[in-house]
Structures are given as structure tokens and as C-alpha cells.
A = this chain, B = another copy of it.
Amino acid sequence: MFETGHFSRLWRQVAERFGIQVEYLPGSWRRGVIVEDIERALSADRGHQYKAVMVVHNETSTGTTSKISEIRRAMKDLKHPALLMVDAISSLASIEYRHDEWEVDVMIAASQKGLMLPPGLAFNAISEKALAANKVSKMSRSYWDWKEILELSGKGFFPYTPSINLIFGLREALKMLLEEGLPKVFRRHQRHGQATRAAVHAWGLELVCEEPEEYSNTVTAVFVPEGHSADKFRSAVLEHFDMSLGAGLSKLADKVFRIGHLGHFNDLMLAGTLAGVEMGLRLSGIPHAEGGVMAALNSLSPKSKALSSQVK
């Protein structure tokens, strides 16, 4: 596993609670997985002790993504037989996730992010290889075991009482996503990520994510300048504008606020969101340059486009 942020930590914790020995490669919480680190670890693992490489695709606590395709390529180059497991909770249906092409063995997702539903459903996509490993595994498990749900869901049943209301909601959510078309959905989130970062840049604030190729298009984490409280700022925004920004988690607590821009979201909702941030910065006396919202509008609706439409 690789320390990309709070959610990779939590995942590690789950693993360790079940007695799994985790090699947790340290990270700065400002980058995605550094592929060279994984290559180095796998190369050193001559005896193939590592059973799985586990990666958070989109680290919600920091707004960074990891390049799953490159990780898989590195594993292939090294002929390492470990399973590749990916937490796609805040990426699925919002940014590109290519399960088959990337040969992911276990993918984990949930209803409450890109699928635009209330919390309550979780999903796994599982490879044949992972299923085979599951069959021989001796770890204790019950509710989370795949066996029974695989047996029954093929017949339209569930081993336990399912969240039937959410399943109806899922049907509608998938219909909406397919009506828009996934390429358009991804492009929409890309535009919103870019516009949000344009705003942050204009304000003169610092992104948590240091590597442009790893920027998240579903959530943007932003440092407040030293000596200022991100949580007081968040409270002011909530109180004055009825908008709940994400908190900095764990070691980023009170230093960072997070702007979510995923799921059922459009340009004007983003503009309203960024307006709330800009007015909140002002109200909270946090040093910043004006004009973040304007920069976002310029990003969303470039002037050249206006000119070209004038020419028509």
C-alpha cells in the first residue's frame, strides 16, 4: 500500500485489523502513488511475498489521483503476480476508470459519490484471479464475503435484505449517466476541476496536490495560509452561505479545506460554490487575491469561444 492520504491510511487499518501484514510505503499526502516506489518494492520482493498492491485511485482527503495504468504496467514488467486492488470510491463514474484495460483485480466503489445516490450501497468488481484467491483464503469473513452474493445475485436475489430503495435509485442514476454519456461526464468533471484550480490559483492559495498530472477532477483540497484556521473558515462559510466544505482530515486537520465537484453538478453550481469560498475567505479575513470566481468563469467559458460565436 502507498500512503496517499487519509483514506489510504484507513484502508491500511482495515487490512491490519484482519491480521494482514502491510508494507505501507510512505508518502507526503501531496502526491498520488509514485510508481518508482512500487517498482522498487516489487523488484525487491523476489519471493513474491506481496499478495496485493492496493491503491486509492482518487484520494478524497488530498485531491490527488494515482495512475493505475502505470502501476499495472510496472507490475507486468516485473512479472509480479500480486493482485491489483483499487479504491475507486470517489472516482467511479466521475473520472476515467478502465477496469478491464487496467486489469484491476478488485475494485471498490460506493453509491454516494459519482453515482449520485445517498450512501448505502457498495460495489466490487472482481477478476477471476481474485475469485480464485478468495476461494483458498482462510481469513474469517461473513457479511463481506463474496460467495453468497455471487451465488444469488445471478438469480436476481440477495443473501440479505438489500437496500432496495437505493437499487431503484441506482437504475435511475445509471440511466442519467448513460444519457449524458460517460465521455461527456468525464469531460464535465475535468472542466470543473480545471476551473476550480484556476480559482485557487487566482486567490493565491496553495493546492495540496503538488503534481499537475495527478490533480483530482472530483475534489480539490486547498491550504489556508499559515496562522489561519481552515475550520473557522469552514464554519463561517456554513453559517453565512449554508454551504458545507470538506474538512482537512487527520494531519491536514484545520490546515486544509476541500471543495467537492463531483456527481450531479454543473457549471452554475460550481460558480455558486466558488463564490461561497471567495466570500468566505473575505469574511474570515484570510489573505487572498480577489477574482477566483472570475478566473473560474474564464476557465469554463473561454473568451475565444465568445469571439468565435460572434463571428458566426
- Inter-subunit contact A165/B118 (CB<8 Å): yes
- Inter-subunit contact A271/B293 (CB<8 Å): yes
Shortest beta-carbon distance from A273 to chain B in Å? 7
Q: Quick check: is A174 within 8 A (CB to CB) of the other chain?
A: no
Copies in the complex: 4
- Inter-subunit contact B300/A279 (CB<8 Å): yes
Please tell me the number of chain A residues within 8 Å of chain B, measured between CB atoms.
56
Q: Quick check: is A126 within 8 A (CB to CB) of the other chain?
A: no
- Inter-subunit contact A285/B307 (CB<8 Å): yes
In the bound complex, residues from chain B placing their C-beta under 8 Å from that of A297 are: 275, 278-279, 293
**Beyond A18-B140, A142-B13, A294-B291, is A271–B275 a contact (Cβ under 8 Å)?**
yes
A-B contact pairs, 29 of them (CB 8 A): A13-B142, A14-B142, A14-B143, A17-B141, A118-B163, A118-B164, A119-B165, A120-B163, A241-B268, A242-B266, A242-B268, A267-B276, A268-B272, A268-B275, A271-B275, A271-B276, A272-B272, A272-B275, A275-B293, A278-B297, A279-B300, A282-B301, A283-B301, A283-B306, A284-B306, A285-B310, A290-B294, A291-B294, A293-B294
- Excluding A240-B267, A275-B275, A279-B300, 17 further A-B contacts by CB distance (< 8 Å) are A13-B142, A17-B142, A17-B145, A110-B161, A119-B161, A119-B163, A120-B120, A120-B165, A241-B267, A243-B268, A275-B297, A279-B301, A283-B305, A283-B309, A285-B309, A291-B294, A294-B294
